[in-house]
Structure 1
């Protein structure tokens, strides 16, 4: 699918897209906003893409920002995918959530509480690694602690 790039203007819904691209509770909303903004080659959009490229915890979003910046003719490098903690201190968050639940809690209870306590952590790991990975982490915490 080829995107039409419109230069030197911002979309009418720029402010809404700017908010969505920074929404830590929804990697999907960030990705959609990045894709839509990627049609507008302006300095504001380039700044947003550079920020997503450097700082987004979900690699799919970093990759899309990278592709857009390359399409805009920018000389950028795709960062290496994080191998361990994608959100600093996440393992402590997982442990804190686990300890706050009854001993015989389920993964679903764990995931629900994690979403309530730290939607940013839940969303980043769900987007980057998937729920199966998160369930494996939960299993390791339950069996090792």
Structure 2
């Protein structure tokens, strides 16, 4: 059991996280996966998942849309201002529409009045064609599509992941068509 004083911010107690706008004493007993409950009169029942920091990092990891999706699902289980802010940011700014939709669904389930943003059209990542041409030029002249795909995945995981998440089952077909259309200027 640990005791701490918190004032206007976040305080870490072992593996737990406490958020408050007031000064108070609190005792926490935490086991893995347990929610932290603040029952002090001034805290208004604020709660965060015990693994909040890890979920926040996962929700913002641009190179893995599946990890973002999982983090959103787990964050959506806690009704908290910080969680709502993260979900709102993801809903409005994520490059993969499936992730935006998941954040929207979680916000709706938390009772938030939000609108699902329109699907982005055109290039999801600015300068995509230029980046892909550079990757293609860096390979030998007679390289295969699979060599190109592997190099893209190694060099620009963010691009690979974004388009894989957005295109779904059509990703390989789209990437191969894009690769064959690229010039070697």
Tell me, yes or no, whether TM beats 0.5: yes
Q: What's the TM-score once normalised by structure 2's chain length? A: 0.70
The one of 157, 172, 183 aligned to 1:131:
172
Indicate the structure with greater strand content: 2
Match of 2:34 in 1: none
Match of 2:16 in 1: none
1 CA distance for matches of 2:153 and 2:71?
Answer: 22
Q: Decide which moves more: 128-137 or 57-66.
A: 128-137
Q: Decide which moves more: 113-122 or 25-34.
A: 113-122
Q: What's the TM-score once normalised by structure 1's chain length? A: 0.88
Match of 2:150 in 1: 112
Q: Please list every run of 5 or more consecutive structure 2 residues that lacks an aligned counterpart in the other structure.
A: 1-44
Q: Please list every run of 5 or more consecutive structure 1 residues that lacks an aligned counterpart in the other structure.
A: 1-6
**SS at 1:10 equivalent:** strand
1 CA distance for matches of 2:76 and 2:129?
Answer: 34
- Shift in Å, 1:34: 0.6
Residues 83-122 of structure 1: pairs in structure 2 closer than 5 A: 83-122=121-160
Higher relative contact order (CA 8 A, sep 6+): 1
Match of 2:48 in 1: 10
The one of 9, 29, 44 aligned to 2:82:
44
1 CA distance for matches of 2:180 and 2:46?
Answer: 51
Indicate the structure with greater helix content: 1
1 CA distance for matches of 2:83 and 2:57?
Answer: 13
2 CA distance for matches of 1:113 and 1:20?
Answer: 24
Greater C-alpha Rg: 2
What is the total number of aligned residue pairs between the two structures? 138
Deviating runs (4+, > 3 A) in structure 1? none
